[in-house]
Amino acid sequence: MVRRSRDDAVATRGRIVASAQLLMRQRGVHCVTLEDVARAIGMTRGAVYAHFRSRAALMDALLSCAEADLAERLAPLARHHAGAAPDVLEPALAALLDGDGMARHVSLLAFLLQHKCGADCELCPLRARVLRGVDMLRDTLAATMPAPALAGLLVAHLWGLLSAHALQLAPSGLSGCAASLARLYAPPGMQRGACPDAAGGAAFPRDTP
């Protein structure tokens, strides 16, 4: 009986998180309350509060989902030592851009990054976690890029593509952009540590996705 109750609680928590993700994607984070989430899955507000004491607590769970998704998609890339396998960059980019996986987290991440701190703030620790995740993504990508200094630009490029997809301004098949991105940031023949510039050196192809 205890085991079943725990399983039921985990399943209910998962329904709440999935409902919140869908509503926030459709309406934006600002427009979604715990009451909205409860109504969408036929629960009372009190039942939702039994699992999440506040909206910030729900956002904490949603951010954990985003972190788990990112870690899973970067796992093959993270296993390689710096500079050992630049050819893993393209499949890693394809994994990040594949389907709805990461795009479904965009509205939450944008909300937390734009957060303005107030008194007794519960969101600032979440914003700090997002920033640490950005640093981790940049460092992981940089480890296999010929020009590691461009990893921040690649992260910005990825964010733009995912945001466009989340806003339905880009197709769901963004993983098809991975090959072009890989050639753009790790062009064939470019030596690790080289940074292209206008004066000379390796030039990036003009096939930006």
Sign of torsion over alpha carbons 11, 25, 96, 178: positive
3-state SS assignment for residue 202: coil
- Looking at residue 195, its pLDDT comes to 59
- C-alpha 65/C-alpha 108 separation (Å) is 11
In three-state form (DSSP H/G/I as H, E/B as E, the rest C), the secondary structure along 162-191 is: HHHHHCCCCCCCHHHHHHHHHHHHCCCCCC
- Looking at residue 4, its pLDDT comes to 57
- C-alpha 110/C-alpha 130 separation (Å) is 9
Note whether 164 and 157 are within 8 A (CB).
no
pLDDT in tens, the chain (209 residues): 445 577 788 899 999 999 999 999 888 898 899 999 999 999 998 999 999 999 999 999 999 999 999 999 888 776 665 444 557 888 889 989 988 888 889 999 999 999 877 667 888 999 999 999 999 999 999 988 888 999 999 999 999 999 998 888 876 678 888 999 999 998 776 656 555 553 444 444 444 44
pTM of the model: 0.81
- Looking at residue 207, its pLDDT comes to 45
